[in-house]
């Protein structure tokens, strides 16, 4: 990148190794690290001043030395090393030729002139033995990332805040089918939670509020046959879905009503109160939210404000998922990388939502909280069921990245990520269908009360 307008790490190297250096810079580029180096300057007064500026700048977060024979005997490098020390810059070294420092020195030390020996000793006074020396072939990006983090230096493109992040939309190709399959898979799990709160609540005229109800398919399937529940209100910000839901609602008499509203709207409680009034509902008995809380920026805020619309008693049922609840073998590292890269890329939803549900309810004052768990796996499943499990847990990821790419069409990094995911997900899907492959996913329901 060699961009001095942004935070950078200065690269100190011998110009004799220009070609090798280009390869190193390309590797850091791939990881989106902005390295600054003096590729066009030649040694002299100008050069000295420029290097001083480069290293003393507040944008310079540290220095990397690329160590070779030429590096160790260069007067220019000695200047760079001295500025590094003078301005207290953090640094580490990369051994260009995969030798340790003593091994490298053995290859040429005897041939050095007195001046060269003096330069080398002076350089080494600063590059003491305790510092980190990485061999080029062994660069571990996790370690480099950690070191840079300590320097307050971060990769350019892992910061996704500059990407246009689209909100969740069920309109993406194939998403409706995926949701439908997913809903079927969670039928028993949801019913277990719903039945248990029905056992605790009294009365025969109960009202349910389904948050993030999409096109109503899940809402109908869970509540249509429960006689004690006489009113169900569904809320979603997707107008098309709500239109579809209201059209289907006609098949169920006056029980289901759907409304378009954004749960993050500052007036959401007034909006909900008006909807309840319109339907002659005094208070909600059950709030149900399946796979929606993780799309919100501030779930606590919504959970707290819901107290305003509950009746005398009430229960909240929240189903969430968590990428940390996904395990497999083999391909463990592939799964880990898919999940990690996805989380960095798509920041519009919280992929670690399941583990937070308990404390979210606790912190917002709900009582008698309990957690339910549902585990699905590939164990001895036929091909169709394995494919379905893969589709539900993974296929949406590529579509989501494609959507992001459509909105950021010039973003090279995103293009690379898209290609990476395409290959990685194909490889993972193939593994899924392998007889000896095991995958397992846990989903979570949190139930809380209001008194």
Ligand X SMILES: C[S@@+](CC[C@H](N)C(=O)[O-])C[C@H]1O[C@@H](n2cnc3c(N)ncnc32)[C@H](O)[C@@H]1O
Residues binding ligand X (CB under 6 A):
168, 170, 179, 183, 212-214, 218, 236-238, 241, 262-264, 290-292, 295-296
Burial degree of 89 (CB within 10 A; 0-12, 13-18, 19+): middle
Give least dist CB 180 to ligand X, A: 8
Identify which of residues 38 and 244 has a Cβ nearer to ligand X in the complex: 244
Q: Which tokens go with 248?
A: 């289907």
CA pair distance 433, 451, nearest whole angstrom: 48
For ligand X, which is the closer residue by CB, 65 or 189? 189
CB of 331 to ligand X, least distance (A): 25
Question: Is the distance from CB of 89 to CB of 35 less than 8 angstroms?
Answer: no
Cβ closest to ligand X, residue 108 vs residue 237: 237
- For residue 388, the minimal CB distance to ligand X (Å) is 15
Q: Between residues 160 and 238, which has the closer beta carbon with respect to ligand X? A: 238
Q: Between 123 and 296, name the residue whose CB sits nearer to ligand X.
A: 296
Closer to ligand X by Cβ: residue 4 or 224 = 224
CB of 267 to ligand X, least distance (A): 13
Dmax over CA atoms of the chain, in Å, equals 98
Q: Closest separation between CB of residue 404 and ligand X, Å?
A: 16
DSSP string, 71-125: HHT-HHHHHHHHHHHHTT--EEEEETTS--HHHHHHHHGGG--HHHHHHHHHHHH
Per-residue tokens: 435: 């007889």
**In the complex, which residue's CB is closest to ligand X?**
212
Q: Which is nearer to ligand X, 74 or 238 (CB)?
A: 238
Tell me the closest approach of the beta carbon of residue 159 to ligand X, in angstroms. Answer: 23
**What's the start-to-end Cα distance of the chain, in Å?**
58
Could you list the beta-strand ranges (E) of 212-309: 229-236, 256-260, 284-290
Q: Give the Cα separation of 210 and 258 in Å (integer).
A: 9
Asked whether 210 and 289 are in contact (CB, 8 A), the reply is yes
Angle 65-67-73 from CA coordinates, rounded to 5°: 110
Euclidean distance between CA atoms 34 and 25, whole angstroms: 9
Q: For ligand X, which is the closer residue by CB, 157 or 222? A: 222
Q: How far is the CB of 266 from ligand X (least distance, A)?
A: 12
Q: How far is the CB of 167 from ligand X (least distance, A)?
A: 6
CA distance 450 to 307: 8
Question: DSSP state, 138?
Answer: G
């Amino acid at each position: 990148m060699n961009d001095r307008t942004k935070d950078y790490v200065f690269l100190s190297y011998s110009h004799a190794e220009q070609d090798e250096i280009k390869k190193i810079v390309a590797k850091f580029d791939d990881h989106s690290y902005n390295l600054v180096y003096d590729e066009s300057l030649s040694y002299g007064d100008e050069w000295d001043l420029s290097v001083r500026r480069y290293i003393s700048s507040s944008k310079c977060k540290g220095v990397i030395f690329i160590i070779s024979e030429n590096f160790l005997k260069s007067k220019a490098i000695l200047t760079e090393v001295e500025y590094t020390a003078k301005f207290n810059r953090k640094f580490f070294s990369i051994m260009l030729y995969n030798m340790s420092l003593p091994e490298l020195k053995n290859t040429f030390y005897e041939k050095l002139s007195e001046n060269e020996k003096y330069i080398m000793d002076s350089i080494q006074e600063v590059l003491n033995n305790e510092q980190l020396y990485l061999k080029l072939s062994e660069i571990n990006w996790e370690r480099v990332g950690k070191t840079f983090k300590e320097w307050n230096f971060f990769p350019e493109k892992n910061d996704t805040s500059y990407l246009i992040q689209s909100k969740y939309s069920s309109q993406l190709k194939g998403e409706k089918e995926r949701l439908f399959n997913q809903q079927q898979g969670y039928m028993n799990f949801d019913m277990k939670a719903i039945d248990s709160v029905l056992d605790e609540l009294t009365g025969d005229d109960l009202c349910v509020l389904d948050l993030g109800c999409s096109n109503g398919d899940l809402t109908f399937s869970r509540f249509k046959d429960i006689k004690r529940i006489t009113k169900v209100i569904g809320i979603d910000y997707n107008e098309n879905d709500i239109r579809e839901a209201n059209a289907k609602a006609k098949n169920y008499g006056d029980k289901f009503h759907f409304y378009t509203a954004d749960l993050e709207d500052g007036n959401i409680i007034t909006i909900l109160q008006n909807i309840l009034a319109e339907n002659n509902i005094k208070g909600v008995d059950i709030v149900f939210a399946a796979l929606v809380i993780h799309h919100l920026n501030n779930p606590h805020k919504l959970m707290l404000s819901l107290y305003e619309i509950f009746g005398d008693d009430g229960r909240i049922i929240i189903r969430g998922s968590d990428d940390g609840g996904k395990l497999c073998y083999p391909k463990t590292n592939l799964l880990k990388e898919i999940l990690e890269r996805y989380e960095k890329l798509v920041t519009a939803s919280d992929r670690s939502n399941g583990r937070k549900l308990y404390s979210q309810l606790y912190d917002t004052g709900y009582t008698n909280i309990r957690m339910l768990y549902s585990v699905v796996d590939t164990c001895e499943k036929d091909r169709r069921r394995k494919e379905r499990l893969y589709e539900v847990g993974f296929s949406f990821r590529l579509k989501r990245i494609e959507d992001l790419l459509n909105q950021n069409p010039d973003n090279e990094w995103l293009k690379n990520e898209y290609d990476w995911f395409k290959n990685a997900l194909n490889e993972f899907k193939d593994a899924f269908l392998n007889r000896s492959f095991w995958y397992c996913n846990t989903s979570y329901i949190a139930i809380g009360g209001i008194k």
